[in-house]
Amino acid sequence: MSASFPHGVDDPSPYPQARTVEDFTRNLASVRERIADASRRVGRDPAEVRLLPISKTVDEARIRLSVAAGCRELGENKVQEAYRKWEALSDLEGLRWSLVGHLQTNKAKLVARFASEFQALDSLRVAEALDRRLQALGRGLDVFVQVNTSGESSKYGLAPDAVEAFVRRLPAYSSLRVRGLMTLALLSSDQSRVRQCFVRLRELRDRIRQALPEGDRVAELSMGMSGDFETAIEEGATVVRVGQAIYGARRLPDSHFWPST
């Protein structure tokens, strides 16, 4: 199992805890530099890649330090944790909250209140629940459709074959602004197998872009985390979701946040 959790509790972590604004400034600069290097390697403009800092499990005091160092967007995996932080940090202006984890329909109401983005859409029931709540509040939400590119039966996300039909249904939910596709690659130290997941998502995006009418197309690719964001950028990522390389290692293994095999 330990190979599945390269940065888990049992392994010495390559990600030291960031505890000061200077730590965050340094970590952000280093991640941005790696984004720029990876982009240039494949002839892409680094400005095409958006860095979404993932602050799950990080307490509010440290999130404040990261905001002082320049984080304006925050991604969270669990709705209640995100909502609690949104309330506690409401004195900070211009923060944008993104949910990147699985959502149950009974929590759609909470998401509609505070989130700017939801990256793990994989059911029409959730789309419908979100849309109803958003309409009532007069709000909109950017959404990404989560795709299971690793073939692990325990992972959330739609099977690649089901994505086009799913995306065709989404214009019915007018408060949802469909931005693109999101995936979690295999948690593996074998970079070639990780890369295959990213390639699969890009090819799927390209096929859907051709098949759908102009207004309904998906453009963005949210893929890559601390351990694999450079590979993801080489394969076309337009959003990378980076937690540990900015905030430091988490004590909880990744299996706490999404099902693993």
Ligand X SMILES: *Cc1c(COP(=O)(O)O)cnc(C)c1O
* 1/137 with CB nearer ligand X: 1
The one among 74, 145, 208, 242 contacting ligand X by CB under 6 A: 242
Cβ-proximal residue to ligand X, closest one:
243
Stretch that binds ligand X, among 86-94, 153-161, 207-215, 222-230 (CB under 6 A): 222-230
Query: Which residue in 66, 150, 238, 244 binds ligand X (CB under 6 A)?
Result: 244
Q: Which is nearer to ligand X, 44 or 56 (CB)?
A: 56
Sign, CA torsion 233/235/238/242: negative
Q: Which amino acid is at 198?
A: F
Give the shortest CB-134-to-ligand X separation in angstroms.
22
Edge-first strand order for the sheet with 73-76 is 50-53, 239-242, 220-222, 176-183, 141-147, 117-121, 96-99, 73-76
Alpha-carbon gap, residue 200 to 235, rounded angstroms: 10
257, HSE (Cβ side, Cα atoms, 13 Å): 24
Nearest residue (CB) to ligand X, 85 versus 241: 241
Q: How far is the CB of 145 from ligand X (least distance, A)?
A: 14
Judged by CB under 6 A, the residue of 18, 53, 56, 160 near ligand X is 56
Of residues 59-78, those binding ligand X (CB under 6 A)? 77
- The site map against ligand X for 99-118 (x = CB under 6 A) is -xx-----------------
202 binds ligand X (CB under 6 A): no
* Residue carrying the six token digits 């990780």: 194
Between CA 129 and CA 237 the distance in angstroms is 29
Rounded CA separation 203/85 (Å): 36
Binding-residue total with ligand X (CB under 6 A) = 14
Phi-psi sector, 145: left (phi>0), alpha (psi -120 to 50), beta: beta
Binding site for ligand X (CB under 6 A): 54, 56, 77, 100-101, 184, 225-227, 241-244, 257
